[in-house]
Amino acid sequence: MRILVTGATGNVGTAVLRRLSAEPDIEIIGVARRVPALGAGAPYDGVRWHAADLGDPAVVAPLAGWLDGVDAVIHLAWQIQPSHDRERLRRTNVDGTRHVLEAVRRAGVPVLAHASSVGVYGEGPKDRAVDESHPATGIPTSSYSRDKVAAEELLRAADGPRVVLLRPGLIFQHDAGSGIARLFLGPLLPVSLLRFRRVPLIPDHPRLRVQAVHADDVADAYLRAIRADVSGAFNIVADPVLEPAGLAHRFHGRTVPVPLGMLRGLAAATWRARLQPTDAGWLDLAVGVPLLDAGRAASELGWAPRHDAWAALDELVQGMSQHAGTASAALRPSSVTGLLPGHRDPA
């Protein structure tokens, strides 16, 4: 079985390569903007690499050629930074998805599995879980959410390949510590202090409840989805729900009730001042989207997470404090980057 993975050097891509490389019948083709150097080590060695900018319309023809004889595409390529360059993000995320779909159609690839997100959902409950029938209308103030909705709409309207849409919660692993810190925290926060596992104050609000899943469990869901005769959307999350009281207990702090307006104002002001790379839309997303029920993945894919959500978070925090990473450009270990937060590609 030959599988092409876009965005194969990122957080989920690295986990997918690990999972696929354990299957003796699978040959892997990887596509990324910056491919790993020769001898990068596992899981990048043994992959046939192609460097490409999926947002460029000229990529369709060569990509269709690379797809010759491919049995399935796992489309993970997605750009989160630079958050101040909205057009660049949409070019990669939405136009890039369109270009991948066009190449898949040209090459006649039968299966396309796409990295969707909890972010496609419209506002929903935080006291119960919803299934995949909840409206996928997004959170309007989140550009990430709008792009995820637009990409799904392209794929749901597509004829040709069998399309699978995985909708995970927050995705964590140890080796993504540096990469996630660069994307969401920027160079000014001293993440090395996390080694002491002390965060004295945790903002508290009834809607600050989110779900997470380990990257290796997401990778397993992708493999199960392309091997099974299924299509449509699948929620991918692990228990328990992450909430402020649990965070305070885990990080030896205490919760402080904070109005959402105050939190949003702080996020917006620090983002505009280039003090951190995460715009206020990410807070709107966190408090807006519903909790998810992963029952369909369990019943139709036989999927179950091997890590609970707290274990996944613990791995990430440890990875951040240790400046952990891999040999890929997206996940390389680093403690400091001189880039202005949210202004250019993270180093």
DSSP strand pairing (48-51 vs 232-236): unpaired
Q: Is the peptide bond before 82 cis (omega within 30 degrees of 0)?
A: yes
**What CA–CA distances, in Å, run from 64 to 68, 162, 203, 206?**
7, 17, 48, 48
What is the pTM (predicted TM-score) of this model? 0.95
Report yes or no: 135 and 122 within 8 Å, Cβ to Cβ.
yes
Show pLDDT as tens, one digit a residue, over the chain (347 residues): 999 999 999 999 999 999 999 999 999 999 999 999 999 999 999 999 999 999 999 999 999 999 999 999 999 999 999 999 999 999 999 999 999 999 999 999 999 999 999 999 999 999 999 999 999 999 999 999 999 999 999 999 988 899 999 999 999 999 999 999 999 988 767 777 787 788 889 999 999 999 999 999 999 999 999 999 999 999 999 999 999 999 999 999 999 999 999 999 999 999 999 999 999 999 999 999 999 999 999 999 999 999 999 999 999 999 999 999 999 999 999 754 445 555 555 54
SS3 per residue for 92-146: HHHHHHHHHHHHHHHHCCCEEEEECCHHHCCCCCCCCEECCCCCCCCCCCCHHHH
- Shortest CA distance to 158 belongs to which of 103, 117, 118? 103
Beta bridge partners of 304: none
Per-residue DSSP letter, 220: H
Q: What pLDDT was estimated at residue 343? A: 54
Q: What pLDDT was estimated at residue 345? A: 59
**What CA–CA distances, in Å, run from 6 to 53, 198, 209?**
10, 37, 31
Q: What pLDDT was estimated at residue 341? A: 55
Q: How many CB atoms are located within 10 Å of the residue 320 CB? A: 23
| 51 burial type by CB count under 10 A (0-12 exposed, 13-18 middle, 19+ buried) | exposed
Q: Tell me, which fold does domain 2-174+211-238+289-309 have in CATH?
A: Rossmann fold (3.40.50)
Geometric angle at alpha carbon 116, from 112 and 118, rounded to 5°: 155
Q: What pLDDT was estimated at residue 196? A: 77
